[in-house]
Amino acid sequence: MTAPTLRADFDGLVAPYRRELLVHCYRMMASPHDAEDLVQETLLRAWRAADSFDPDRGSLRTWLYRIATNACLTALASRRSRPLPSGVGARFDDPDTAFVRGPEVPWLIPLPVDPATSAVERDQLRLALVAALQLLPARQRAALLLREVLQLPAAEVAEALGLTTAAVNSALQRARARLADIGGGADTVTGSPTEQRAVVDRYAAAFERADVPAIVRLLAAEVVLEMPPMWNWYVGPEAYAGFMRRVYRTRGRDWRTVPVWANGEAGFTAYLDGEAHSVQLLTVAGGLVVRATVFADPAVVELVGAPPRYSA
């Protein structure tokens, strides 16, 4: 493909890469809105630079990824990364502790993902992994994604990021070590969509019945419960059960659920007294829930396409 060919059929040639560029930008930014904006910025930059495209130096896909990565790095120079509470705050031991809001933090926002999408994409978008990536410096994050997801040679990653090959290899070593230290389920192997949905459906049924013992039977020993934008997060079935008892005691038992999917993981929109309350995503591994992330933000409810009121 030559540069004139690219400019002549730009929309058609870049169309096959739009989705994967969105996934890449989302993993960099942890916000669907930012990712969409940066894909548009990427394509605008690519259109303007179309005459400089050189197929001898790499494929169109690689060229677009370079542009997208640098667009993300530019954006991150003036924006804070979007973590989850378990990555940046101390855990809470008392499930009855008052809620502590964290409006000062731009929290991770989930990305709706069709369960029929590829296993590779679902794996790349797992909440724990995306959240862990946000704890890396921006250039380490970019180097890791370009090297291990796009599988570019270290020399090409260096060229894309304006670094030396040695600097890229050093950044990769530090990024891998940091991810290993973070843990938190970033390397968890989740079940198939069918396996996930079966466990989440059982959880949702117990949730609607306010059946705390049934919920606990579905939890892993080190299960994590977190609720951005609250700082409160908990570890283990005992704290989880205590928190759920608090929910039913203070908010009542008139809960209904509607299935949703986001970040390659099954979940549901929870409705309290018929009104949308939260989007709850459950990470399932080995037939048990290892993480529950509750997004009590009306914008997230709207993002996943859930109606504001429950309809049976």
Residue 68: predicted pLDDT: 97
Which domain range does residue 204 map to? Answer: 81-119+188-312
Same-domain check for residues 8 and 140: no
This prediction has a pTM of 0.94
**Are residues 142 and 86 part of one domain?**
no
Q: Are residues 233 and 89 in the same domain?
A: yes
Tokens read off for 14: 């870049």
Q: What is the CB neighbour count within 10 angstroms for residue 96?
A: 11
CB atoms within 10 A of CB 5: 13
What pLDDT digit, counting tens, does each position of 13-24 carry? 999 999 999 999
> pLDDT band at residue 175, thresholds of 50, 70 and 90?
very high
CATH of residue 179 = 1.10.10.10
Residues 176 and 257 placed together within one structural domain of the fold: no
Q: Measuring CA to CA, how many Å separate 132 from each of 28, 41, 161, 271? A: 11, 25, 21, 29
Residues 66 and 132 in one domain: no
Pairing of strands 219-226, 288-295: parallel
pLDDT of residue 184: 62
Judge if 50 and 133 occupy the same domain.
no
> Is there a single domain that holds both residue 232 and residue 260?
yes
Residues 210 and 248 sit within 8 Å (Cβ to Cβ): yes
Q: Which among 170, 185, 200 is the end of a domain? A: 185
Q: Which of 164, 185, 206 is the last residue of a domain?
A: 185
Q: Which of 158, 185, 212 is at the close of a domain?
A: 185
Q: Which residues pair with 276 in a beta bridge?
A: 271
Domain count, the chain: 3
Claim to verify: residue 269 and residue 199 sit in the same structural domain: yes
- CATH number for the domain including 238? 3.10.450.50
Same domain for 62 and 104, yes or no, is no
pLDDT tens, position by position, 42-71: 999 999 998 888 888 888 999 999 999 999
